Amino acid sequence: MTSVPAAKRKRVAMNRKKAWRKYSNIQDVEDFLEEQRQQLRTGGLASEKSNEALFFEDKTAHRKGQKKSASKSTKPRGPIQHKVDLRIRPHPRVPPIPKALPRQERRKSSRVLQIQAQERKGIYSENKQKRLDEAKQQRTLATGNRKREKELLDERKATFDLWDCDMVKKIKKSGIEADEHFLRQTKKTPAKLPPRYQDKPSKFPAVEIIAPGASYNPSLEDHQDLVNATYEIELKKQKAEEKLDRWHKIPKLSAKQAQATYIDEMSAGLFHDDENQKGDAEDVEGEKGLLPNPPTTFENRKTKKRKRKERALKEKEKEMKAEKRLKIRQNEVYRLRSIAKEMEKEKADAAIEREKRLQREKEREKIPKSLGHHKLEEEPMVIKLSDELVGSLRQLKPEGNLLRDRYKSLQKRNIIESRVWKRGGKAKYKEYEKKSHKEITS
């Protein structure tokens, strides 16, 4: 019989944590910990228990060599107990879990018992009655919604014969005669769009027609009207600039005057004159003579009798004001006609205000909206002066920029926000001569 050679022990360097985790044998430690956990589950650690808890004296044991007498009355054997079933049986050394005591109900106060008795009779408080009414209203709405949904479902159900051709609606679309369902599924019928799908963001036309005076060969009246309109626009701009200049106008001073003013401003408050000192002394004396509350003397002090009279006067005045308000409220019953007239007047004023608001909204539609941080700047009107007019298209010089005109039109129609249009300049290239080329040419 040949002996099997023993496996060669693998030599591993154990000076790294990686080798410890991979090649260390910790099975004995895991067995020890598992045994400790088993002891804790079954009554506690054996090392901490006393000898009486671990061992017991068997007093029924027979002496050595003595045979046990066989009993004639043998008890019937019970069902066979398997070892697997022992694991689910309660352990004799593990105490059972204590049963939770029933929670004692708190004794209700007399006020709570009184409220419950009133609620049994159908008498509820104001807040609870309000909540009950709201809950009832919600239940009614929910019932109505469910009923309405059920009716809609019933309407959607097919209540006609599917194979009856006369019940199917026939539609003729682009030379095809078929039912509505077939055309919808084959994308022959257009989808139903939202009601405001076709609404444009602005009422401005995409292409604005310029004034007739801007033509290459306009009439005299049209050209003069355009010149006058342009003049008015330029005059408004000039007035706005002049107003701004007046606000920011700085007086011109010579260098000597500016230096003197600077010295006076910087030295203000450093030196006191005699007159200022006298004025300050008088102010101090005047301030000392004034007190926030004058001293109370024996003659003008408030006694209890005087305070009681003032309190009675205040209460009487309060009662008189309340009676007056009550009389005014009672007299309003006799002025029902005037109240009706006032209500009619308020309705008429509200209708007028509504019309004005609608008119303002219509006018606001003609004004471009401010969608961004910048304000829309109108382009200057294209105009040719009288000496620049020509009668032939060959000699006409084009003005304006078509791309810029379309760009401003998009901003005016609220399609894009107002922006600052910056024209990008061409990059300046640096010219230099290569060293190698320079050496060759020289």
**Between 4 and 315, whose confidence is greater?**
315
What confidence score (pLDDT) does residue 1 get?
47
- Average pLDDT in the 103-113 region? 82
What confidence score (pLDDT) does residue 133 get?
93
Rg (CA), the chain: 53
Concatenating the DSSP letter of every residue in 322-382 gives HHHHHHHHHHGGGGHHHHHHHHHHHHHHHHHHHHHHHHHHHHHHTSPP--SSSPPPPPPPP
- Average pLDDT in the 7-26 region? 77
Q: What is the pLDDT of residues 252-306, one digit of tens each?
A: 778 888 888 888 888 887 776 555 555 555 555 555 555 567 777 777 788 899 8
**Between 314 and 171, whose confidence is greater?**
314
In degrees, to the nearest 5, what angle opens at C-alpha 290 toward C-alphas 285 and 296?
135
What confidence score (pLDDT) does residue 167 get?
46
Q: Is the pLDDT of residue 5 over 80?
A: no
Residues 6+ apart with CB under 8 A from 210: 382
How many whole angstroms separate alpha carbon 117 and alpha carbon 186? Answer: 69
Determine the 3-state secondary structure of 235 from DSSP: helix
In degrees, to the nearest 5, what angle opens at C-alpha 388 toward C-alphas 387 and 392?
115
End-to-end CA distance of the chain: 99
What confidence score (pLDDT) does residue 176 get?
59
Question: Structure tokens of 442?
Answer: 């020289």
The single-letter DSSP state of residue 130 is: H
Count, in order, helices (H) and strands (E) of the chain. 14, 2
What confidence score (pLDDT) does residue 355 get?
95
**Between 186 and 258, whose confidence is greater?**
258
20 sits in the region (left: phi over 0; alpha: psi -120 to 50; else beta) called: alpha
- Residue that has been written with the tokens 């000898």 in this structure: 51
Query: Would the pTM of this model clear 0.85, i.e. be above it?
Result: no
CB atoms within 10 A of CB 414: 19
How many whole angstroms separate alpha carbon 285 and alpha carbon 281? Answer: 6
Four-residue CA torsion sign, 189, 192, 197, 203 = positive
- Average pLDDT in the 139-145 region? 93
What is each CA distance from 44 to 35, 38, 51, 54, 285, in whole angstroms? Answer: 11, 9, 14, 11, 94
323 falls in which pLDDT band (50, 70, 90)? very high
Q: What is the pLDDT of residues 219-228, one digit of tens each?
A: 889 999 999 9
- Average pLDDT in the 170-194 region? 67
How many whole angstroms separate alpha carbon 240 and alpha carbon 232? Answer: 12
- Average pLDDT in the 307-315 region? 94
Q: What is the pLDDT of residues 349-406, one digit of tens each?
A: 999 999 999 999 888 888 888 888 888 888 888 888 888 888 788 888 888 888 889 9
Contact 383, 214 (CB under 8 A): yes
What confidence score (pLDDT) does residue 32 get?
92
Question: Structure tokens of 281?
Answer: 């002394």
What confidence score (pLDDT) does residue 132 get?
92
Q: What is the pLDDT of residues 231-244, one digit of tens each?
A: 999 999 999 999 98
Q: Is the pLDDT of residue 421 over 90?
A: no
Q: What is the pLDDT of residues 26-79, one digit of tens each?
A: 889 899 999 999 888 887 888 888 888 888 777 775 555 555 555 555 667 777
